[in-house]
């Protein structure tokens, strides 16, 4: 037993003693089957890139190599990786199915008002598919800190009659789904349609972390909301919500329903294609979210929640503001 242990120690010593010292990576060429499989660690010794799947001891007799079954070397961001092609294909297919099923679950099933209400109220926890620190940017509607608040606040307050995810593409390496979702919804008794298009980014746990979407056909709302009857409904709905959801919680932007209504009768009504300005329609948009997060009560008030237009919700931002919002970029 002692002899076997001694032989093992001698073998390990000799093996480690054969490792090359180096200052530059090219000096490790004799101990690897490919220049890219080895590195000159800390400009001291040749070491195989174990963290990238390569095997070997970086010696003449045990060179760095891609040694897995059905192994294949692929490159990402200029770095080589040794991977089992069959295993990776299976894992890629599993992630493809997971990402796509999550998108379809949200945009085809969770658009139901009763389900959306449970999600936004916290009765139904979906942290397993949407990261609590997620964020969303929707062209013409604005940028929001939480995907759940924005999406399910809208779904809970609007009757989605039908929705379907189509024209999608899935990148399982980067964890991104590009998609288009078409909606048919009921807006004050009028059936209208709109679409979301854009990328959705997932984290390493396959949870949504960023949405960067644009809307199509949303401006069709203007065909309805610009008539006097619809304007009256929107103003009354906004002020009724403020009275019931905000005033009892200490918000004093308006003294009562009539105070709120009179202000909005003099305010620019706005359009569906421009919601980030101090307008009635912007206030109405936040009215949909106020029952779930009282911060939106301030967004319904005259200064949009902050006298600084860059910090206010309902305020027209200068063009550079939108280009500087890199935290919503999906790369």
The answer on 237 and 198 residing in a single domain is: no
pLDDT level of residue 103 (50, 70, 90 thresholds): very high
Of 155, 185, 216, the residue that ends a domain is 216
> Which pLDDT score is estimated for 124?
92
* Contacts of 180 by beta carbon, 8 Å cutoff, 6+ apart: 165, 166, 167, 168, 195, 196, 197
Tokens encoding 22: 């180096």
> Which pLDDT score is estimated for 325?
66
| Cα 263 versus chain centre, distance | 36
In a domain, 84, yes or no: no
Of 153, 181, 216, the residue that ends a domain is 216
What tens digit of pLDDT does each residue of 119-148 get?
Answer: 988 899 999 999 988 888 887 666 666 777
| CB burial of residue 62 (10 Å; 0-12, 13-18, 19+) | middle
In a domain, 240, yes or no: yes
In a domain, 38, yes or no: yes
Section 91-119 average pLDDT? 90
The answer on 117 and 210 residing in a single domain is: yes
The answer on 238 and 191 residing in a single domain is: no
C-beta separation of 168 from 179 below 8 A: yes
Tokens encoding 87: 């295993």
In a domain, 247, yes or no: yes
The answer on 191 and 151 residing in a single domain is: yes
pLDDT at position 246 over 90: yes
In a domain, 254, yes or no: yes
pLDDT level of residue 4 (50, 70, 90 thresholds): very low
Q: What is the mean pLDDT of the chain?
A: 83
> Which pLDDT score is estimated for 331?
64
CA–CA gap between residue 246 and residue 223 (Å, rounded): 30
The answer on 190 and 128 residing in a single domain is: yes
The answer on 99 and 55 residing in a single domain is: no
What tens digit of pLDDT does each residue of 33-84 get?
Answer: 999 999 999 999 999 998 888 888 899 989 999 887 656 788 877 888 888 7
pLDDT at position 2 over 60: no
The answer on 233 and 208 residing in a single domain is: no
The answer on 310 and 247 residing in a single domain is: yes
In a domain, 87, yes or no: no
Of 161, 183, 216, the residue that ends a domain is 216
> Which pLDDT score is estimated for 15?
44
- Tell me, yes or no, if the pTM score tops 0.85: no
In degrees rounded to 5, what are phi and psi of residue 51? -65, -15
The answer on 204 and 108 residing in a single domain is: yes
CA–CA gap between residue 101 and residue 96 (Å, rounded): 8
Return the higher-pLDDT residue of 117 and 258. Answer: 258
pLDDT level of residue 198 (50, 70, 90 thresholds): very high
In a domain, 100, yes or no: yes
In a domain, 122, yes or no: yes
Cα 277 to Cα 3, 23, 114, 287, 326: the distances in Å are: 83, 60, 30, 15, 21
* Contacts of 169 by beta carbon, 8 Å cutoff, 6+ apart: 177, 178, 179
In degrees, to the nearest 5, what angle opens at C-alpha 304 toward C-alphas 302 and 307? 90
Range of the domain at 158: 94-216
CA–CA gap between residue 278 and residue 281 (Å, rounded): 9
CA–CA gap between residue 276 and residue 317 (Å, rounded): 8
> Which pLDDT score is estimated for 285?
82
pLDDT level of residue 252 (50, 70, 90 thresholds): very high
User: Which secondary structure element, helix H or strand E, spans residue 93, and what is its range?
Assistant: helix 85-104
Count: domains in the chain: 3
CATH number at 104 reads 3.10.450.50
> Which pLDDT score is estimated for 11?
44
Section 138-164 average pLDDT? 78
What tens digit of pLDDT does each residue of 295-327 get?
Answer: 889 999 988 878 887 778 888 777 776 666 666
The answer on 258 and 194 residing in a single domain is: no
The answer on 124 and 61 residing in a single domain is: no
The answer on 199 and 237 residing in a single domain is: no
């Amino acid at each position: 037993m002692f002899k076997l242990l001694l032989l093992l120690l001698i073998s390990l010593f000799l093996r480690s003693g054969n490792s090359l010292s180096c200052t530059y990576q090219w000096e490790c060429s004799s101990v690897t089957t490919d220049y890219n499989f080895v590195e000159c660690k800390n400009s001291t010794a040749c070491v195989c890139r174990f963290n990238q799947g390569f095997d070997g001891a970086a010696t003449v007799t045990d060179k760095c190599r891609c040694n897995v079954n059905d192994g294949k070397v692929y490159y990402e961001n200029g770095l080589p990786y040794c991977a089992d092609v069959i295993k990776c294909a299976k894992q890629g297919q599993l992630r493809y199915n997971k990402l796509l099923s999550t998108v379809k679950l949200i945009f085809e099933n969770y658009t139901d008002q009763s389900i959306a209400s449970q999600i936004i109220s916290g009765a139904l926890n979906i942290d397993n598919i949407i990261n609590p620190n997620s964020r969303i940017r929707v062209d013409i509607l604005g940028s929001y800190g939480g995907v759940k608040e924005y999406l399910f606040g809208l779904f809970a307050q609007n009757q989605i009659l039908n929705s379907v995810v189509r024209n999608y593409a899935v990148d399982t390496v980067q964890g991104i789904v590009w998609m288009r979702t078409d909606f048919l919804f009921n807006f004050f008794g009028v059936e209208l349609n709109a679409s979301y298009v854009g990328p959705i980014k997932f984290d390493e746990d396959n949870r949504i972390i960023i949405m960067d979407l644009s809307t199509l056909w949303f401006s069709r709302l203007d065909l309805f909301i610009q008539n006097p009857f619809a304007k009256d409904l929107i103003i009354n709905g906004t002020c009724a919500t403020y009275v019931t959801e905000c005033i009892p919680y200490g918000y004093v932007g308006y003294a009562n329903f009539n105070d709120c209504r009179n202000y909005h009768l003099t305010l620019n009504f706005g359009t569906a294609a421009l919601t980030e300005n101090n307008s009635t329609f912007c206030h109405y948009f936040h009215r949909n979210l106020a029952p779930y997060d009282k911060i939106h009560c301030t967004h319904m008030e005259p200064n949009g929640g902050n006298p600084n237009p860059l910090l206010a919700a309902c305020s027209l931002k200068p063009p550079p503001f939108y280009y500087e919002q890199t935290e919503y970029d999906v790369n």
